Amino acid sequence: MAGRGPTGPRSTEYAWLITGPLALVAIVCTTVVGLVAPQPFGGWSLALPLLVAMVAAGIPVLNFTVRRQSLGVTLTEIPLVLAFYLVEPLTVVMIYTVASAVSHLRHRFGPTKFWFNVGRAAAGSSLAVLVLQALPPVEDVGPATWLKLFFAASMVNLLSMASVAGVHTLLQGWQAGRGAIRQSMPGLLAAMINIAIGIIVLILIAATWWSLLLLGALLVALAFVYRAYAQFFRQHRTLTDMYELSRAVSESGEYGTLPDALLGRVRALMQAEYATLWLPAQGRHPEVLLTARNDAPGLLDFAKTPAALRERARDEGRTVAVGRGLTTDGDLRAPLSTHRVKDVIVLPLRSGQAVIGTLEVANRLGDSNYFVRTDVPLFETVAAHAAVALENSRLVDRLRHDASHDTLTRLPNRRRITGALEEAVKIRAPGEVVALLLFDVDRLRQVNESLGHAAGDKVLVEVANRLRSCVPSSALVGRAGGDEFLVTLRLESAEAAMELAAQLREQIRDEMVFDALTLDVDTAVGVAVYPDHGSDAVSLLQRVDLAATAAKSVPGSVQLFSPTLESRSLRRLGLAGDLRRALDADELEVYFQPKVTLRDRRLVGVECLARWAHPAHGTVAPEDFVAVAEHTGQLGRFTEFVLREGLRRSRDWTHAGQPLAVAVNLSARTLTDQHFPARVKELLDEYGVPPQLLTLEIKEAGVLDGTDRPIPTLRRLRDLGVRLSVDDFGTGDSSLAHLRRLPVHEVKVDRSFVQGMATDPGDLAIVNAVVTLSQQFGLAVVAEGVESELTLELLQDIGCEIGQGFLFSRPLPYERLEAWFGAQVDPETISPGELPRLRAVP
């Protein structure tokens, strides 16, 4: 059998390859009948009534659509059976062929289809009368006659079914032919019933012609029964198709797959050649224009009908229909004829009052069929289902998108980045690395607190836009949360990842202008690569976080992950529980480092420094266990422990006649505790230490964070009489002018500048400026990190008053401090009311 070629269905002109043999069969059969029949023509008095009856019976009462063809169940077999018995054979062929021609002229078929239908009618009827001539003649209307008539009439239907299947096979492939045969089976069964009825009618006529009156009434009733059955059949089919449509739409769920589940079933339900869905662009969803075509697998990205129809339906929010059976917009007939569309219905898809798109069907299958008014309510029901399904699928798609994207920047979130990173790891090519870059925006909290969260959001959006516009096209940019952005892509090496990170950081650092405000934003960047720094997405994300945290310690830096960062982080994590037990068991110890006047080397106080000798890890760095205390909620308890130990020693020294001031370091988080000043007062009263002997030191980054948040707590502490000191001054971005608005008494110059004074003129100039300006503001200056006599002399020359460092003493436990103190104090200088003077250091 012929199948569908690679170029699709063949032209209908190929149907002449079937029409020609049918005409040949008709000619041969009629010629043979004319030669063998004793009287080929005759019975003209009954020919005209039978012709009229055949034309009337040719009106379909049931229709079946196969591909693009329409098969109708008619009552033509009833008058055909009568004609076989009542008139001569070639007269039967003539009136049956003429009746077929009249019926098909009424449908206005094209020449190819018209002559095919006339040919199969002539071939079928001529073959049937030839069969009748070949069978033994019978005179009465008995069982033998019944069988002859039944066999002859069946030959007409079998030849008709075979010819239709042949045309479908020739034009559209063997599957179409099989479909035509399968769909013709109900019609064949109906034809057999009609033949039986025709035989019954013949028996009644043979008995008396008056039975025609009863038969007329019976035929009218039978027509109504057929019509009722046809309506029931259509309703059943419609309900079945609607159920299948609803189930398919509900099961599809996905926005991207919904048109596949929808359009094919809509086309089948409406028996149309084309079904088209049009959704204009909306938000992040692009325009959708998809069409399901009869006999075409999949969906096509074009529409058969002009765009003017769907635009009118959308703009006016109403049904637009053009065709013989239904027309709402007659001015659109011309565009339809240009596109060779015979009829179309376009319905708007609504979401509430808004029109979100259109659904349309075009070209009712079967040349004799057209869309009618009764099709519109059914199509409106389909459109309502489609609109709800589309809105639900868009909602699900939007929820899924929001679940994997950041709402502010519209970038993928950490979850989405994790999935993309897992895929990138799987498809990495040999010799490549999968790079993960984490950008942490500096000082975003200050922007939020100073200018409001709206300004902070603008900064984040601008950073996202700059990253998106600067990264390579293969990179995926996402927001990990807060002020962190992630970039992942495949590169040739870790060095290339570091170079790209530095370039992107420079792009972000460009000035950001918002209205009249100009901001300078910097980032700390962490870098991790697969497979060097992790075997999966989770470990890479963890390690790039560690690298970014390490990068924060050096402003504006790019840090590549190293195993030492992870070991330190794991160590800190393990220290959390140990610190709590250490505080419970008094395992922490406080060391003291002397603070000395630089001119006469008199001891003016000590700085209290916590130390922890861990039983397993050995000596733990202060920055490690202080960070653990901050992140585990133990900071308040830890600070109180150091305060108590310092105040207790200060009380003991006062009772011994050698009062010394003690200095205790505070975390910036402590200044946010509104109860802390009251707790300090309680401890001062408990130990009986004058407030002026207590100095609280806060790092520059904590006290000068660009906001006024620490000021209320500082003022309450100052009102208690406690001295306040700015520690590590010079390492941040603040200036001495900022100190004027703070209630502080002392500035401590960071050791990095003090230690470089003897070799770096720049460090010397910085220390000189700090000392000079601080004194002008009435602030005392303490130099940290004094380790050489040359540094001491330089500090004396510029007028620095107090220093501490290894030149005088390292931090010492209380017992060793007492021994050192006894060894260093010059006995001749000890007098009541004076500070002890240290011996000259050799």
CA distances in angstroms from 588 to 663, 683, 831, listed in the order given:
18, 19, 35
Q: Write the CB contacts of 107 (distance below 8 Å, at least 6 apart in sequence).
A: 367, 368
Q: Write the CB contacts of 310 (distance below 8 Å, at least 6 apart in sequence).
A: 276, 278, 303, 320, 346, 358, 360
> Is 688 buried (19+), middle (13-18) or exposed (0-12) by CB count in 10 A?
exposed
Q: Using DSSP, state whether 549 is helix, strand or coil.
A: helix
Q: Write the CB contacts of 267 (distance below 8 Å, at least 6 apart in sequence).
A: 273, 274, 275, 292, 293, 294, 361
Instruction: Look at 208 and 471; give whichever has higher pLDDT.
Output: 471
Q: Using DSSP, state whether 265 is helix, strand or coil.
A: helix
Average pLDDT over residues 280-287: 81
> Which of 119-123, 396-400, 479-483, 668-672 has the largest mean confidence?
479-483
Residues shown for the chain: 842
- Determine the pLDDT at residue 485: 93
Give the CA-trace dihedral at 99, 101, 102, 104, to 10 degrees: 120
- Determine the pLDDT at residue 556: 59
The tens digit of pLDDT for each residue in 717-763 reads 999 999 998 887 766 555 566 667 778 889 888 888 898 888 888 88
3-state helix, strand, coil in the chain (%, to 5): 55, 20, 25
Instruction: Work out the pLDDT band at 489, boundaries 50, 70, 90.
Output: very high
Instruction: Look at 2 and 476; give whichever has higher pLDDT.
Output: 476
Tokens encoding 528: 């991790």
Q: Is the model's pLDDT at 633 over the cut of 70?
A: yes
Instruction: Work out the pLDDT band at 594, boundaries 50, 70, 90.
Output: very high
Helix orientation angle between 211-252 and 375-403, rounded to the nearest 10 degrees: 10
**Least confident window among 181-195, 295-309, 418-432:** 181-195
- Determine the pLDDT at residue 701: 67
Q: 167 pairs with which residues across the strands?
A: none
**Cα–Cα distance for residue pair 730/548, rounded to 1 Å:** 23
User: What phi and psi, each to the nearest 5 degrees, are found at residue 262?
Assistant: -90, -55
The tens digit of pLDDT for each residue in 98-116 reads 888 887 776 666 677 777 7
Candidates 728, 723, 725, 663; CA nearest to 700 is: 728
CA 699 centroid distance within chain: 45
Q: 437 pairs with which residues across the strands?
A: 487, 527
pTM more than 0.85: no
Residue by residue, DSSP assigns 7-28 as TBSPPGGGGHHHHHHHHHHHHH
Helix orientation angle between 375-403 and 258-269, rounded to the nearest 10 degrees: 180
Q: Is the model's pLDDT at 65 over the cut of 50?
A: no
- Determine the pLDDT at residue 643: 94
- Determine the pLDDT at residue 7: 42
DSSP assignment letter at 602: B
**Least confident window among 317-331, 343-357, 444-458, 558-572:** 558-572
- Judge contact between 713 and 676, C-beta under 8 A: yes
Tokens encoding 345: 């219905």
| Stretch (H or E) spanning 593 | strand 588-597
Instruction: Work out the pLDDT band at 595, boundaries 50, 70, 90.
Output: very high
Average pLDDT, the chain: 81
- Judge contact between 606 and 816, C-beta under 8 A: no
CA distances in angstroms from 461 to 471, 505, 574, 657, listed in the order given:
16, 15, 37, 63
**Least confident window among 8-17, 487-496, 625-634:** 8-17
Q: How many CA atoms lie within 13 A of 494 on its CB side?
A: 15
**Cα–Cα distance for residue pair 739/700, rounded to 1 Å:** 10
Candidates 342, 322, 338; CA nearest to 330 is: 322
DSSP assignment letter at 722: -
- Determine the pLDDT at residue 479: 92
**Cα–Cα distance for residue pair 790/563, rounded to 1 Å:** 40
Instruction: Look at 346 and 144; give whichever has higher pLDDT.
Output: 346
Instruction: Work out the pLDDT band at 69, boundaries 50, 70, 90.
Output: very low
- Determine the pLDDT at residue 378: 84
Give the pairing type, strands 746-749 and 780-784.
parallel
**Cα–Cα distance for residue pair 295/272, rounded to 1 Å:** 11
In the chain, the amino acid numbered 756 is: G
Residue by residue, DSSP assigns 382-418 as HHHHHHHHHHHHHHHHHHHHHHTB-TTT--BBHHHHH
- Determine the pLDDT at residue 525: 93
**Cα–Cα distance for residue pair 566/568, rounded to 1 Å:** 5
Residue by residue, DSSP assigns 437-455 as EEEEETTHHHHHHHH-HHH
Tokens encoding 32: 């043979």
Candidates 685, 662, 683, 680; CA nearest to 670 is: 680
- Determine the pLDDT at residue 247: 74
Instruction: Work out the pLDDT band at 167, boundaries 50, 70, 90.
Output: confident
The tens digit of pLDDT for each residue in 334-380 reads 888 787 788 899 999 988 888 889 999 998 886 557 888 888 888 88
The percentage of residues in the chain with a pLDDT greater than 70, rounded to a whole number, is 85
In the chain, the amino acid numbered 301 is: D
> Which of 72-86, 126-140, 395-409 has the largest mean confidence?
395-409
Instruction: Work out the pLDDT band at 704, boundaries 50, 70, 90.
Output: low
Helices (H), 65-173: 77-86, 89-106, 111-134, 143-172
Q: Is the model's pLDDT at 66 over the cut of 50?
A: no
Q: Is the model's pLDDT at 769 over the cut of 50?
A: yes
| Stretch (H or E) spanning 766 | helix 761-776
Q: Write the CB contacts of 783 (distance below 8 Å, at least 6 apart in sequence).
A: 598, 748, 749, 754, 767, 795, 800, 802, 803, 804, 805
CB crowding 796-831: b at 16 or more within 10 Å, else e: eebebbbbbbeebbebbeeeebbebbeebbeeeeee
Candidates 825, 832, 833; CA nearest to 808 is: 825
Tokens encoding 480: 């990990």
Instruction: Work out the pLDDT band at 155, boundaries 50, 70, 90.
Output: confident
Candidates 703, 701, 696, 581; CA nearest to 632 is: 581
Q: Is the model's pLDDT at 64 over the cut of 50?
A: no
Average pLDDT over residues 668-678: 86
> Could you count the other beta carbons within 10 Å of the beta carbon of residue 542?
15
Q: Using omega within 30 degrees of 0 as the cis cutoff, is the peptide bond preceding 691 cis?
A: no
- Determine the pLDDT at residue 661: 92
The tens digit of pLDDT for each residue in 541-582 reads 988 988 888 888 766 588 898 877 755 665 666 677 778 888
